[in-house]
Structure 1
Amino acid sequence: MSTFSKIALVTGGSRGLGKNMALSLARKGFDVILTYNARKDEALAVVTEIEQTGQKAAALQLNTGDVRSFDTFVSQFSAVLTDNFGADRFDFLINNAGIAAHTPIGQTSEEDFDQLTNIHFKGVFFLTQRLLPILNDGGRIINISTGLARFTSPGYAVYASLKGAIETLTKYMANELGARGIAVNVVAPGAIETDFGGGVVRDNDQVNRHLASVTALGRVGLPDDIGGVVAFLCTDEARWINAQRIEVSGGMNL
């Protein structure tokens, strides 16, 4: 038996929920490679934090909205697997990277629409496609959606619709990859206190209190409420969970 730890790739793992996912995976005994878009310093700080848990970690730059860059990224990723981890394949793909955009239907530009589509749907589809040849059989894919795919909040039509597409894509991935023993699930966070969307849930007291009032458990979410669920889905205990949408919202808008 190999003594190597299993390896997770977390896109957008340098901050917010992605950072929490990366650290939660490390606490489960997994090695982690995370991507960042612009803030290399933040990504390297997360790498250091993971290494302090005793796991290996690395960070790579990736714009998940730029499909043309993916072949180069996969080459870099493969080199890091070999050089840093002594591996030629990895085990868990967490498609987390994303941006928030408040785009009321009447005010959404085509540029806004295309940017959101490239990051939240096209990029997830093609990055997963490119990585499938080096994802281990028996591995896991976890896609990230949103509570807004189930309930509505004006201004998020494009973002939430694309997450709805991700939820459907997850089921198709689970079906097509089942022969390889790869389970594919989607985690849908509710409102969380992070810097996402300019930190509106975290920093606007009125918004925070309103969201807490429509949540059964009486508060908004914290990053620590999400990362552990993603990490659990990568464990052997979760091996029979497949093609599921798991909403982690404390019971919002029930």
Structure 2
Amino acid sequence: MNSNRLKRIAVTGANRGIGKATTAALVEAGYEVHALVRSHQSSTSSAEHLNHPHVIVHDYDQSLIAVNDSGFPKTLEGPFFGLINNAAICEQESLADSRRDTFDRIVNTNLTGVFHLTRLLLPMIADGGRIVNISSQLGIEGRADFGAYCATKFALIGLTKTWAKELGTRKITVNAVCPGWVETDMTHLDIEKLARKKDVSPEIYRKYVEDHIEMRQMNSPNDVAALIVFLLSPAAGRISGRDWLMHNNFG
């Protein structure tokens, strides 16, 4: 019998990208996945992976829980073995061109929402459980024109280290995964915007990015998912408070 079969994992932003790959990998590993996604995102053609007997979908908007506890899904019931804080948004704005509403939207989704979801779900997380926060290479190194996004990802690493100290007595591990460039829709949009800024085609800018990566290719969402699955495994039961940089050597 698979020892993971009855273990529940909550995953935010499970409808696409890293969240989609993580959901599939967790199901393959035998976990029961509770996918926290906006209702309209669970019915798209790219969300077919959510139609699985071991995936339970919950209507969830991280920007709402950032401002009121009523945003916590009432359908969630413990106990949970783990929480994967993956949902995030990214917008490019320099400091000089930044707008208050953009900054607030990014911080609410990427940081404040993460804090309050974790706070409210914590009583449902079993002793010996896991929390994995998806930060970024930009949460360690920063990048011009990504100030708000970088600030939230730096902050997630701070929360990771703090929560690891707070929850250690319950044997709950807390780690941050910090990918570099990953083949996702968000990355493709970033490349298009950065290419326009440089007045080159997206193909040329992508080649520029890949030429500055050690292995000359981006991470895949499956690469990130594999690390997350490891951090949930018994082998990682004494690893906590770490930021796991999946480095691409490109800032």
Q: TM-score range by the shorter chain?
A: 0.7 to 0.9
Which of 232, 247, 252 is the equivalent residue of 2:249? Answer: 252
- Asked whether the 8 Å contact 2:58–2:73 carries over to 1, the reply is no
Corresponding residue for residue 85 of structure 2: 95
TM-score (norm 1): 0.87
Contact 1:200 1:207 in 2 (8 A): no
Query: Is the aligned partner of 1:173 residue 2:170?
Result: no
Q: Secondary structure at the match of 1:107?
A: coil
1:194–1:201: 8 Å Cα contact kept in structure 2?
Answer: no
Q: Secondary structure in 1 aligned to 2:10?
A: strand
Task: Provide the TM-score with structure 2 as the length reference.
Answer: 0.88
Tell me how far 1:164 sits from its aligned partner.
0.3
SS at match of 1:113: helix
- Matched to 1:19, the amino acid is K
Structure 2 partner of 1:239: 237
Match of 2:129 in 1: 139
Cα contact 1:26–1:32 (8 A) shared by 2: yes
Letter matched to residue 93 of structure 2: T
Give the C-alpha shift of residue 69 in structure 1: 5.3
Contact 1:188 1:248 in 2 (8 A): yes
Instruction: Return 5+ residue gaps in structure 1 as ranges.
Output: 79-87
Q: Which residue of the partner structure matches residue 114 of structure 1?
A: 104
Name the amino acid aligned to 1:252: N
Identity within the alignment, %: 28
Inter-partner Cα distance in structure 1 for 2:71 and 2:88: 20
When the two chains are superposed, the root-mean-square deviation of aligned CA atoms in Å is: 2.2
Contact 1:47 1:57 in 2 (8 A): yes
Is the CA contact 1:12–1:35 (under 8 Å) kept in the aligned structure 2? yes
Point out the more displaced range, 11-20 or 63-72. Answer: 63-72
Counterpart residue identity of residue 143, structure 1:
N
Q: Which amino acid aligns with 1:63?
A: D
Residue 198 of structure 1 deviates from its aligned partner by 5.3
Distance 1:36 1:219 in 2: 29
Q: Is the 1:170–1:184 contact (alpha carbons within 8 Å) kept by the matching residues of 2? A: yes
Report the equivalent of 2:173.
183
1:25 and 2:23 correspond: no
- How many angstroms apart in 2 are the aligned matches of 1:238 and 1:99? 28
Residues of 1 paired with 2:147 and 2:47: CA distance? 34
Aligned position for 2:197: none
Alignment map for 1:35-184 (pairs within 5 Å): 35-37=36-38, 38-42=40-44, 45-48=48-51, 50-51=52-53, 56-67=54-65, 68=67, 70-71=69-70, 73-78=72-77, 88-184=78-174
Deviation of 1:197 (Å): 5.1
**Counterpart secondary structure, 1:76:** coil
Cα distance in 2 for residues equivalent to 1:26 and 1:71: 29
- 5+ residue gaps in structure 2? 193-200
| SS of residue matched to 1:221 | coil
Question: Is the CA contact 2:42–2:50 (under 8 Å) kept in the aligned structure 1?
Answer: no
Answer yes or no: is the 8 Å Cα contact 1:100–1:197 preserved in 2: no
Do the aligned partners of 1:151 and 1:253 also contact (CA within 8 Å) in 2? no
Match of 2:202 in 1: 204
Kept after mapping to 2: 8 A contact 1:103/1:157: yes
The total of aligned residue pairs comes to 239
Counterpart of 2:218, as a letter, is V
What's the CA shift for 1:222? 1.5
